[in-house]
Structure 1
């Protein structure tokens, strides 16, 4: 049965839905505030033994507004897979819901300090500074210094840049992360965030204490509409590659194949660095063409910094961003639901219960 018509549409409804489902199906639930705001909670939900032999981790909402899709998939996992764990295999599932609840609730991709959390997870010796030359050249286009009500449409401006430099060059310039423009897009921060420090204490020990972990961090926006892909941000063994190719139905991408999504400070690389026994994958679902998604990000960021909260323009920018990362199309949602259920069927049958 396709339950995509029951997906929640607000942050608080998403939290209520997964917590209620988790309670009904016997999950251990712990809601914590990873940021200095008691209204915003990140929920940790676990099913299975305390010290498992294998651990499936599914995280959502690192990019705020992308949490709607992540929450929907996590709700599907609770509904359909809670009774699928084979107790003899000593496996467990850990769901981390709404890592960035501020962005989730406020329809932002970034946190309360405008930090793109998936650019903040730097490793020891890496510095929170710098921006590539491509980003510097695009800064005024990406981050207009005021509310851009009257201008040449962004699609035309971006089209001119693409014609001159190519789409991949544009994507590489913006998606890699930057640390010099605090109010700009893809800002990685100037120090480790509270979220990073909290996950270091709460999530890493769970993964580090397990002999084998498969971690999926759910995102949306990049790729073919309604289709998922595994984006790999760290080296894998031949055995891992073989398994992930089967699980993904051969939908894997490595940085060397497509530089457009290679990002400094990404969460998956950080997990792998601190837990070498874990395969950490970005599970990405496509929505709209890249320029359309980037235009929505740009408009929301301008509204956030320069717009008037509560105005029609402000609301339009917020709703446009939500649509870019969580399309309202019934066909899109149905396709994502069915593909996700098939994917986790394979994960349970071919890995977790083996």
Structure 2
């Protein structure tokens, strides 16, 4: 067992080193799928996979991090801690559950402190059938010019117009317009892409390689950025299916103490989204019964989180910005998706462990 503080890291390279060391410490092989680009400090990037359990296990739990790059600073810490957690590993083994850790679904965003992939794509909006017409988001189109102004920080006119939109609609409507996913503005926020990204294609291959034999698949995908600071909201990632949602709630609601929410019934802090990553397990493992959640840890209030995202996207479009402004924006981005305090990290690990034990029991049951 390691202490909580040592599970977390200050950079992608450090996080990857700790994850690989954790796998080595329990005698598990690492399957590394190398990314085509380098990290911000020239380091190798990869999606790293560790299977802890039998390769032919019928019950499989997937635990993944960094779907949204920078959110990997939280998720990687959970994964590293879990592999050092003998009580958790023994419990999973006793329940007949194999655990598939997928570290850094989006290693580029993790390293470069971006939420998006190197294609500027939100990975959790990218799982679409690109041979079909893509979803339209007219609400995003209406405010696109406000979100990424020519200068940063925004001038008075931009701030006033943005505030007016929120006043006329609501914070929730603003959040929904921005975060739902859009497929029109390639440099914009929450862009779902025009084709499957490297991370999308690589994840699908990982599922084919490791999950094809499973009869039941549970998935805990680790996220940050929404909700009350330090609170892990369990958001169902099942399709709009009452039976699947009921199953997720039986597994993870802790007798009502840790409710499972849904984007389909309005109970989640998340807006209704398109192109979700969980589509991949339905498509690549169609014979398996799937039950999943996104574990969404809160950080900052929604408008502060949104401002950090706007600033970081602006910086990506304007790399000529001063070093001082660039550093300030990157710090703002980190603060929006990772709360660098011992109390927050302790909350993250405590709730993650609970969700892991719940998942193993659910799979067994």
Q: Is the structural similarity TM-score above 0.5?
A: yes
Give SS of 1:308's match. Answer: coil
The equivalent residue for 1:343 is 355
The equivalent residue for 2:47 is 42
The equivalent residue for 1:272 is 282
Please give the residue correspondences for 1:179-218 in structure 2 after superposition, counting only pairs within 5 Å. 179-218=183-222
- Distance (whole Å) between structure 2 residues aligned to residue 239 and residue 117 of structure 1: 23
User: Would you say 1:324 and 2:336 are equivalent positions?
Assistant: yes
Which residue of the other structure, out of 252, 257, 278, is the alignment partner of 2:260?
252
User: TM-score, normalised on structure 1?
Assistant: 0.90
- Distance (whole Å) between structure 1 residues aligned to residue 280 and residue 295 of structure 2: 16
User: Would you say 1:262 and 2:287 are equivalent positions?
Assistant: no
The equivalent residue for 1:22 is 23
CA 1:159/1:329 → structure 2, altered by over 3 Å: closer, same or farther? farther
Q: Which consecutive residues of structure 1, in runs of 5 or more, have no partner in the other structure?
A: none
Contact 1:269 1:280 (C-alpha < 8 Å) held by counterparts: no
Give SS of 2:186's match. Answer: coil
Which residue of the other structure, out of 312, 326, 334, is the alignment partner of 1:300?
312
Q: Which moved more, 1:56-65 or 1:164-173?
A: 164-173
- Distance (whole Å) between structure 1 residues aligned to residue 20 and residue 191 of structure 2: 32
Give SS of 2:199's match. Answer: helix
- Distance (whole Å) between structure 1 residues aligned to residue 92 and residue 206 of structure 2: 26
The equivalent residue for 1:99 is 105
CA 1:158/1:333 → structure 2, altered by over 3 Å: closer, same or farther? farther
Q: Which moved more, 1:84-93 or 1:55-64?
A: 84-93
1:346 positional shift: 2.8
Give SS of 2:278's match. Answer: helix
Give SS of 2:98's match. Answer: strand
- Distance (whole Å) between structure 1 residues aligned to residue 92 and residue 120 of structure 2: 42
1:287 positional shift: 1.1
1:159 positional shift: 3.5
User: Would you say 1:126 and 2:127 are equivalent positions?
Assistant: no
**CA deviation digits over 1:264-304, x for unaligned, max 9?**
11101332344342223222111111111000000111112
Q: Which consecutive residues of structure 2, in runs of 5 or more, have no partner in the other structure?
A: none
What RMSD, in angstroms, separates the aligned Cα atoms of the two structures? 2.5
- Distance (whole Å) between structure 1 residues aligned to residue 159 and residue 333 of structure 2: 15
Give SS of 1:41's match. Answer: strand
The equivalent residue for 1:112 is 118
